[in-house]
Amino acid sequence: MLKRGEPIGKELLEELYCERGLSAQEIGEQLGVSYHKVAYWMDKYGIGRRHWSEASYLRHNPDGEKFRIDLSDRELFVAGVALYLGEGDKHSTALVFANSDPGVLKLWVRFLERVCSVSPDMLKAHISYYEDLDYSTLLSFWSLELRIPRENFERPTLKRGKVANDRFDQRRSLYGTVHIRFYDSRLKALMVSWMKDLVEGDL
């Protein structure tokens, strides 16, 4: 707690705001001063303010980044970016990748694991499948293939099969479609920049 009228030191602000990731409001509450006083001394020392999205990220990830980038395997890196450019969700703030091909999905999981240091047990997934398929069999298959724990699979989506002459459409996947999610807005922002570089020939 600061004494009445006592200035907030620059080193203290840098420790609380920059190193520990506290917000200006939280610093004020900890020191027993107003938000406006914290903001005044931050401006005086030239300590830049975080964007609200970065502040929100830090609140939800107090232990730091959930990923670490390793670009030593360039072929895998480029393959992963190309995969997401073709099949990934461009609108979500998370990385969301959907496919029905086991090989493609295994490559995507390998990209996350080796390039982004995101292990399969950090991923969420859900299966979309048609009514003639057995969900428990699909769950066992995909959990084994992708090394994603069964408990990380969210509620599945049951689709009604296309029927022609009382026979199911044989063009669809026998394994359903799997949607793999990793919730991290910063990694998604990196992916967006990588895709832009790939399209422009600068990756």
Task: Please report which confidence band the pLDDT of residue 171 belongs to, taking 50, 70 and 90 as the band edges.
Answer: low
Task: Please report which confidence band the pLDDT of residue 166 belongs to, taking 50, 70 and 90 as the band edges.
Answer: very low
The answer to whether residue 135 sits within a structural domain is: yes
Tokens (6 digits) for 185: 């807005």
Task: Please report which confidence band the pLDDT of residue 56 belongs to, taking 50, 70 and 90 as the band edges.
Answer: low
In the predicted structure, residue 161 carries a pLDDT above the cut 80 = no
* Mean pLDDT calculated for residue range 173-197: 90
Evaluate whether 111 touches 103 at the Cβ level (below 8 Å): no
Task: Please report which confidence band the pLDDT of residue 54 belongs to, taking 50, 70 and 90 as the band edges.
Answer: low
Q: Could you give the percent of the chain with pLDDT greater than 90? A: 47
Evaluate whether 124 touches 152 at the Cβ level (below 8 Å): yes
Its domain, for residue 25, covers: 10-60
- The closest of 134, 131, 129 to 163, measured between CA atoms, is 131
Residues 94, 137 within the same domain:
yes
Q: What is the pLDDT of residues 69-96, one digit of tens each?
A: 888 899 999 999 999 999 999 998 899 9
* Mean pLDDT calculated for residue range 141-167: 82
Plot region of 176 (φ>0 → left; ψ -120 to 50 → alpha; else → beta): left
In the predicted structure, residue 4 carries a pLDDT above the cut 90 = no
The answer to whether residue 3 sits within a structural domain is: no
Residues 55, 81 within the same domain:
no
The answer to whether residue 166 sits within a structural domain is: yes
Q: What is the pLDDT of residues 102-144, one digit of tens each?
A: 999 999 999 999 999 999 999 999 999 988 889 999 999 999 9
Give me the residues paired with residue 124 across strands.
181
Number of domains within the chain = 2
Residues 28, 112 within the same domain:
no
Which range has the worst mean pLDDT, 54-68, 96-110, 153-167?
54-68
Q: What is the pLDDT of residues 37-49, one digit of tens each?
A: 988 999 989 888 7
Strand, helix or coil at 163? strand
- The closest of 38, 6, 40, 3 to 22, measured between CA atoms, is 38
Residues 80, 156 within the same domain:
yes
In the predicted structure, residue 51 carries a pLDDT above the cut 80 = no
The answer to whether residue 167 sits within a structural domain is: yes
In whole numbers, what is the pLDDT of the chain averaged over residues?
85
In the predicted structure, residue 162 carries a pLDDT above the cut 90 = no
* Mean pLDDT calculated for residue range 8-36: 84
